[in-house]
């Protein structure tokens, strides 16, 4: 049985690139999931428990908010926290999502659109990252922190997952230039 891998960094921290890398390593990846579900706060656990039996790796929303529950449900899993310098992160979030609302972002941040709510989004982003670090403090072998903007890539990921490093560049998916 393949070890489950939960990517628990917030959106716009390299989650799409990490998903592509995991696919290249042979993982069956899902996410984001349930973004447009108007009742995501009530449906998220049922949805997650159904998906966890069908996939090996989980990325983007709602997985960051479920890391403790997934840790209990799937003992021995690995967790990857993708991070990004907070100012660069919020600029990317606002640029990408702007004034568009989703039920998922409303559930995560209390407000569905980042533009005009940057302080609330930043506070939640930082709180999440600190919560993850605190939770795994005594279990460093279960958590990998990756900052793709600062060069994290195959070496860190493959070392953590005990996989061979592929002879191809680490993917860079969902770049802002690709969305123009």
Within the chain, what is the greatest distance between any pair of CA atoms? 45
Please report which confidence band the pLDDT of residue 180 belongs to, taking 50, 70 and 90 as the band edges. Answer: very low
Sign of the CA dihedral 64, 65, 70, 76?
Answer: positive
Q: What is the pLDDT of residue 179?
A: 38
Q: What is the pLDDT of residue 2?
A: 76
Structure pTM? 0.94
C-alpha to C-alpha distance for 149 and 151, rounded to whole angstroms: 6
Please report which confidence band the pLDDT of residue 33 belongs to, taking 50, 70 and 90 as the band edges. Answer: very high
Give mean pLDDT, residues 18-28: 96
Domain 5-84+128-179 has CATH 3.40.50.300: yes
C-alpha to C-alpha distance for 118 and 95, rounded to whole angstroms: 11
C-alpha to C-alpha distance for 80 and 58, rounded to whole angstroms: 10
Residue 9 has a CB neighbour count (10 Å cut-off) of 28
Place of tokens 């996939």: 55
Q: What is the pLDDT of residue 174?
A: 63
Residue 177 has pLDDT above 70, yes or no: no
Q: What is the pLDDT of residue 80?
A: 98
C-alpha to C-alpha distance for 83 and 11, rounded to whole angstroms: 9
Give mean pLDDT, residues 8-32: 96
Give mean pLDDT, residues 90-106: 94
Residue 168 has pLDDT above 70, yes or no: yes
The helix (H) or strand (E) run that includes residue 30 is strand 29-30
pLDDT digits (tens, 9 = 90+) for 69-82: 999 999 999 999 99
pLDDT cut 90: percent of the chain above it: 92
Question: Which residues, 6 or more positions from 53, have their beta carbon under 8 angstroms from its beta carbon?
Answer: none
**How confident is the prediction for the chain on average, in pLDDT?**
94
């Amino acid at each position: 049985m393949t070890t489950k891998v939960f990517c628990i960094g917030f959106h716009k921290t390299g989650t799409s690139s990490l998903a592509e890398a995991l696919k290249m390593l042979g993982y069956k990846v899902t996410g984001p999931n349930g973004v447009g579900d108007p009742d995501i706060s009530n449906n998220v656990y049922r949805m997650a428990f159904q998906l966890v039996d069908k996939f090996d790796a989980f990325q983007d929303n709602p997985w960051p908010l479920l890391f403790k529950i997934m840790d209990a449900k799937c003992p021995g899993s690995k967790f990857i926290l993708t991070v990004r310098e907070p100012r660069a992160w919020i600029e990317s979030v606002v640029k990408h999502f702007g004034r568009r609302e989703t039920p998922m972002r409303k559930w995560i941040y209390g407000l569905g659109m980042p533009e005009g709510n940057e302080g609330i989004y930043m506070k939640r982003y930082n709180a999440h990252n600190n919560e993850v670090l605190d939770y795994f403090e005594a279990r460093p072998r279960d958590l990998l922190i990756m900052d793709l903007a600062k060069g994290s890539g195959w070496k860190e990921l493959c070392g953590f997952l005990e996989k061979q490093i592929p002879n191809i560049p680490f993917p860079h998916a969902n770049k802002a230039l690709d969305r123009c």
